[in-house]
Structure 1
Amino acid sequence: MNVLSTVKLTHAIKEQLANHFPIITFFHDLKIDEAEQLIPRADIILTYGEDLVEDHIKAATNLKWVMVASAGIEKLPFDILKERKILVTNAKGVHGIPMAEYCLAMMLQVSRQAKALIENEKQHNWDRSVKMNELYGKTVYILGTGAIGSATAKLSKAFGMNVVGMNRDGRSVEHFDTTYKKEDILLPVKDADFIISVLPSTSATKSLVNETFLNTMKSEAVFINIGRGDVVVEEHLITALENNKLKHAVLDVFEEEPLGKKHKFWDMENVTITPHLSGITDLYLPRAIDIFIRNFNHYLDGKLTDMDNNINLVQRY
């Protein structure tokens, strides 16, 4: 059995895989376009999901399973995968801790005026008039109550925040004080001090954060997006920020990436930009590989239904 990995793995992880699966042949550290001769031999492809196109799947005549070492799968060639009945799993769950920490860091950054403090330090300016706010007692509204949303809710509760969530059906979720269904998405907006979107890119989530949503926010509120860029109508967000409909936006994801050098966001003082790295830490890849190893054991035992994060190729999540 052959595993083709286009994910760049550390030497320690390669040894870990070899020790767990000594009779499996692994082809490591190959870009997909450099692996033309190996693709037809691959039974399994380990990928971040952004490099595979339909022609690769057609050429992979032995392919039975694609493991995506991230949560995002929207760029996969779903039609051919569905036609071929290829098993697809992802690394959903690995982002919970790092992305929750990112959200808390960014809420603190805005509340404690980190940008102003750093600028004062650069200017050797001893200014004690910088206004500081606490997270304690504030309300955070989290769009999406899955692994990332729940981890963010848990950390937010540790800071004494009121935590409100939104999911498809309004079901109760641990660490959330209240949850709303998608149809009622606007109800908590006006009372939220922070709104965090962890939503994936689907037909149901595109453009959810639009003019109506943003105009419902209170002027001192902060919006954070760590989900997918197309959940937000960027033109509407720019207008809302320019008209002080909200205080600040922290954006890790965008409609088009990388963000163009001339994009208006770069020069807006009330915007914090990070280059889609909220979930990337030193422990990210080891967590993803742990999921792969567990799933591979189930796969070899023929227990496909026991594998974690099986993707529905029709619903695409």
Structure 2
Amino acid sequence: MNVLFTFRIKDEQMEKLKADFPGIQFCFNKKADEIAIDEFEIIVTYGEDITTDVLERATSLKWLMVASAGVEKMPLAEIAAKGIVISNVRGIHKTPMAETALAHILSLGRALPALVEQQKRKEWNTKVRQTELRGSTALILGPGAIGSEIGRLLQAFGVRTIGCNHSGNPAGFMDDTIRFDGLLSRLPEADIVISVLPSTEKTKGLLTEEHFKAMKETALFMNFGRGDLVKETVIVDALKNGDIGHAVLDVFEKEPLPVESELWTLSNVTISPHVSSHSGKYIERALEFFTENLEKWQNGDKDLVNLIDPEKGY
């Protein structure tokens, strides 16, 4: 059995894999479009390097292990047609992304950006508007692994949490869970609206101008999921018109965010360059998913952790 890693891992991680799986031939740090890949049964990848051309050349490929949560940029139809098993690392981002969300919420609530600006001006001003989290309400779009972890942290601060998903099925650390089609009626309750939704046919353009007008004028809108959830012009208008109080954006319709984007110039938006999931422990956690699944694969068990349905995209 041959395994190809198309991204770099540490030397000690390579050696551990070789020691733990002596019957497997590993090839590390080679790009899929630069080598002959017809011999590899398994490819471990971030996903974006898997093209239709790569799939045509990977004649022995049976399993794609994607060390990312999003797979929307991959040729999923071709993967499905070839019967290739695909799994990802869903849930790997929950700790750093939940901590990032909480950091922004606390920072804005306790007016830390304003205090930093006062310090730059050497200004002593005690009349800074600050709020408490306790008693507020957060509406979380996508209460899966990441959203539930955000909910857990917020509940510890006394926040009421409402989850919103396609099914309306109960989710962890949500006081209530609603369906997408019930979102509009519940938005007026929310002090904080957080999206960690993936990009699917059901989530693209899910939020419209009507949704932002339904939010509180003081609401904090946060998007850590995918930029195609809402058009940039809708967010810009909502911020300029005072439909919401502030936005924290980690993802955008077009990335990198173009320098001419009006978002850069607005005072009530915090721009983050798609880094909410970054962590020094990322590869370590990804390899935990991989080794668990590799043991299953060796034993003929194809019921892998985090299997992806390529037709659904998740």
Give the TM-score band, short-chain normalised.
over 0.9
Asked if 1:22 is matched to 2:22, the reply is: yes
Determine the structure 1 residue equivalent to 2:61: 63
Counterpart selection for 2:177 from 176, 179, 182: 179
Determine the structure 1 residue equivalent to 2:126: 128
Asked if 1:216 is matched to 2:217, the reply is: no
Determine the structure 1 residue equivalent to 2:230: 232
Query: Percent of counterpart pairs with the same letter?
Result: 42
- Shift, 1:32, TM fit: 2.9
**Which string of whole-angstrom CA distances, capped at 9 and with x for unpartnered residues, describes residues 213-248 of structure 1?**
111111000000001110112111111100010011
Aligned positions of 1:118-267 closer than 5 A: 118-267=116-265
TM-score by structure 1 length? 0.96
Determine the structure 2 residue equivalent to 1:311: 308
Determine the structure 2 residue equivalent to 1:300: 298
Tell me the distance in 2 between the aligned counterparts of 1:174 and 1:277: 25
2:310 is aligned with what amino acid? L
Determine the structure 1 residue equivalent to 2:10: 10
Tell me the distance in 2 between the aligned counterparts of 1:28 and 1:255: 33
Aligned residue for 1:166, secondary structure, equals: strand
Q: Is there any run of 5+ residues in structure 1 with no aligned partner, and where?
A: none
Tell me the distance in 2 between the aligned counterparts of 1:280 and 1:8: 16
- Shift, 1:288, TM fit: 1.2
Aligned residue for 1:218, secondary structure, equals: coil
2:143/2:172 contact within 8 Å kept: no
Asked if 1:78 is matched to 2:76, the reply is: yes
**Which string of whole-angstrom CA distances, capped at 9 and with x for unpartnered residues, describes residues 31-74 of structure 1?**
3333x22x112211111111211000111111111000010000
Asked if 1:101 is matched to 2:103, the reply is: no
Asked if 1:49 is matched to 2:80, the reply is: no
- Shift, 1:177, TM fit: 0.7
Aligned length: 314
Tell me the distance in 1 between the aligned counterparts of 2:221 and 2:23: 49
1:267 is aligned with what amino acid? T
Tell me the distance in 2 between the aligned counterparts of 1:10 and 1:134: 43
Asked if 1:279 is matched to 2:273, the reply is: no
Q: Is there any run of 5+ residues in structure 2 with no aligned partner, and where?
A: none
Asked if 1:31 is matched to 2:31, the reply is: yes
TM-score by structure 2 length? 0.97
Tell me the distance in 2 between the aligned counterparts of 1:100 and 1:188: 22
2:218/2:244 contact within 8 Å kept: yes
